Amino acid sequence: MEVIDRCRILAEFTEEPRFTTRTFLSEPMHAVHAQLREWMERAGMSVAVDPAGNIRGSYPSARPSAPRLLIGSHLDTVPRAGAFDGVLGVVLGIALVERLGGRRLPFALDVIGFSDEEGVRFGVPFIGSRALIGDIDAPLLATIHDAIAEFGLDSDRIAEAQVNGDFLGYLEFHIEQGPVLDSLGLPLGVVESISGQTRASVVFEGTANHSGTTPMSHRRDALAGAAEWISAVESEARTVEGAVATVGRLDLSPGAANVIPGTATCTLDVRHPRDEVRERLFALLLQSAEHIAARRCLRVSSEQRLDEPTVEMDPALVRLLERAVAGSGHPVHRLSSGAGHDAMILARRMPAAMLFLRSPGGISHHPDETVLPEDVSAALDAGLRFLEELERVNG
């Protein structure tokens, strides 16, 4: 199927041979943009790359000064990713425009591929969609300035990435990245909310020393403290229904086999559908780090890197999407997303909706991630019906 084939083509543009790894404005993103530009222009869209590295294909309306509908997702990946997380939503957007066959709607369509959602390169996610709503502050801009320049763009013009004008909303197609739809035997799911998330960097500091000559009783091992805390993160999160907490990265210094680690830097990712529960668990985990550090004569510090509240999808667009799914002959199932998505950022500026496609085996962020051809067909059918529903409402 062409949509799937195109996703696999994009997966070949990578920083790491034999694996798909593509971070914010890394060199392979040039090739991704070139390929998307070819498909977009062939579909009748004009194409531009904004100063944040987002690529945007614009398909005009039959009416001058008509409102616009954004369709998109992200083009970056986690390390050693699958072929569909993010890019599927962009490729499906292009396919929808192609399905129109040149027919104009009472609203314009913009298909956008965001330069960053995962936050791998700089530890801050949603750079692409944040630029679109004008949420790139001075510290973040300073952090990403060199990367933007190296890509051939001008960070001084970052404000030009902001959306202006009248927008009907934002629609994002995405694989579920979880097991719910697969366990129910359903191809599609209508997202009703996206769980809030808090991310932080937690640093344990002890004293680096010789591993062979320092008695166990004299050690101030930063890694041992971090390890105890990581176990506590898992234990505490298990006691809170609906919560997930993850330490996904651990960096050690000096990082030698015969040296006691003097510094251990950990990431912390906490999520829950209810903001007050997430905030309470996050605070508890930081307190736990302080208690462990004090008992082990270590120092600990933390820096919050992200605090995104739970976001409800727009009720009116959700209803239109439900009608579209039902009209395409598939059961309607609502679900919440535990993963963060660009839709939660765009929802600050405009109505937003998401349609999930089943993830076979619930696998994502892994080379075995896949999608079923029949589910892609179902998503295309539902997407076309969604455009028709929107046309009826705005005709």
Ordered structural domains, the chain, with CATH? 2-195+310-394 (3.40.630.10), 196-308 (3.30.70.360)
Structure tokens at 246: 């993850």
Identify the pLDDT of residue 105. Answer: 96
As to burial, measured by CB atoms within 10 angstroms (0-12 exposed, 13-18 middle, 19+ buried), residue 341 is buried
**Residue 249's closest CA among 269, 222, 272, 279?**
269
Which residues have a Cβ under 8 Å from the Cβ of 294 and sit 6 or more positions away? none
Q: How far apart are alpha carbons 367 and 387 in whole angstroms? A: 32
- For every residue of 230-241, DSSP letters joined together read HHHHHHHHHTST
- Name the pairing type of β-strands 188-194 and 334-337: parallel
87-119 pLDDT, tens digit per residue, is 999 999 999 999 999 999 999 999 999 999 999
Identify the pLDDT of residue 267. Answer: 96
Q: What is the pTM of this model?
A: 0.86
Identify the pLDDT of residue 395. Answer: 67
Q: How far apart are alpha carbons 339 and 122 in whole angstroms? A: 19
Q: How many helices (H) and strands (E) does the chain have?
A: 11, 16
Tell me which H or E stretch contains 46: strand 46-49
- Residue range 26-55: mean pLDDT, rounded: 98
